[in-house]
Amino acid sequence: MIERKHIDVFIEGLRHYFSHLDLTAKDDNDSLYIGAPYLMETDKEAGLDYTGVISISGNSTGHIFFSAKSSLLNFILLKYGERDFSELFKRDLVGEVANTLAGNARKVLGSEFHISPPKVINGKINPRNYRLSSRCYILPMRWNSNKAELIISI
Amino acid sequence: MKLLIVDDSLIIRNKIDRCILQRFSEVMHAENGKQALEVVIANKPDVITMDLTMPHMSGNEAVKEIIKIAPNTRIFVVSALADKATAISALTYGANGFLCKPFSAAELNSAIERIINVELSA
């Protein structure tokens, strides 16, 4: 079952990740907005244009999804110095962001929080394809006005 | 000096490639541990940056094999796995250093400098 520490660690992970991209911001992450987490309706599709999926095993089981609008991925690619905004690069990036957020969570959740290599899906998450937790949280965020969601199903 | 960058993410391989200034005369890429072993055998890199969570062969398994065939290669792990146990385990497998993702160009270059300097002073 998801606990407060799971949500806190992923909020902190998002802040940490985007602060590394945002070296020109006046304060840490002044262009990052993280909204209040809310429960996902697990009988409906969720997510945005591209989604990186990490399977969790060990002391917790479930999935972590990082789903983003194409415009957000374009912006991050620019920050990485890429000039190729093709689907190949967006899929690679969304998987890498999901992997980084899930991997960083081990700092708090411990080394028995095992993560898989990322899988990537185009478009929304079909809940029928995953065993989602009955209490599955969506963390909405915007970075420089571009939307993404972190979905925690543990 | 030759550098091999091992990561299943093309974007991370490109980022490391762009960040490392011009210290290396040759930079090679591999997408997983298995491919890294082939590059090590064929090209004998001096320094390797190694991701851990990869399909086909994990970073730790690759480090273990690389140390057997090229014991003088300096390897540092670049991984999102941010817990201490992972860092200690990577060093136990034979890596010389550990850098956590996400990283800045300065952090990457400083990590590379450290392991190269260790080699020179050893």
Closest by alpha carbon to A89, among A115, A67, A70? A70
Q: Is there a contact between A118 and A96 (Cβ–Cβ < 8 Å)?
A: yes
| Confidence band, pLDDT 50/70/90 cuts, at residue B121 | low
Does residue A29 register a pLDDT over 70? no
Residues of A in contact with B54 (CB under 8 A): 117
Residue B39 has which token pair? Answer: 């590059």
Going by the DSSP 8-state scheme, the letter that residue A27 receives in this structure is S
For a pLDDT cut of 70, what percent of chain A falls above it? 94
Q: What is the pLDDT of residue A133?
A: 87
- Nearest CB to B11; choose among A23, A96, A107: A96
For a pLDDT cut of 70, what percent of chain B falls above it? 97
Please confirm whether the linkage preceding A140 is cis (ω < 30° from 0).
no
B104 Cβ under 8 Å from any chain A Cβ: yes
Residues of A in contact with B9 (CB under 8 A): 92-93, 95-96, 99
- d(CA B9, CA A93) in angstroms, rounded, equals 8
**Neighbouring C-alpha atoms within 13 Å toward the C-beta of B109:** 10
| Alpha-carbon distance A42 to nearest alpha carbon in chain B (angstroms) | 29
What is the per-residue pLDDT across B14-64, written as a single tens digit (0 to 9) for each?
Answer: 999 999 877 899 999 999 999 999 999 999 999 999 999 998 888 999 999
B81 Cβ under 8 Å from any chain A Cβ: yes
- d(CA A149, CA B55) in angstroms, rounded, equals 25
Question: What domains does chain A contain, in order, with CATH numbers?
Answer: 4-153 (3.40.1550.10)
**What's domain B2-121's architecture?**
3-Layer(aba) Sandwich (3.40)
A88 Cβ under 8 Å from any chain B Cβ: yes
**ipTM rounded to 2 decimals:** 0.90
| Confidence band, pLDDT 50/70/90 cuts, at residue B115 | confident
Residue A98 has which token pair? Answer: 């999901």
* Concatenated DSSP letters of B53-91: S-SSS-HHHHHHHHHHH-TT-EEEEEES--SHHHHHHHH
Backbone angles phi, psi at B114, to 5 degrees: -60, -45
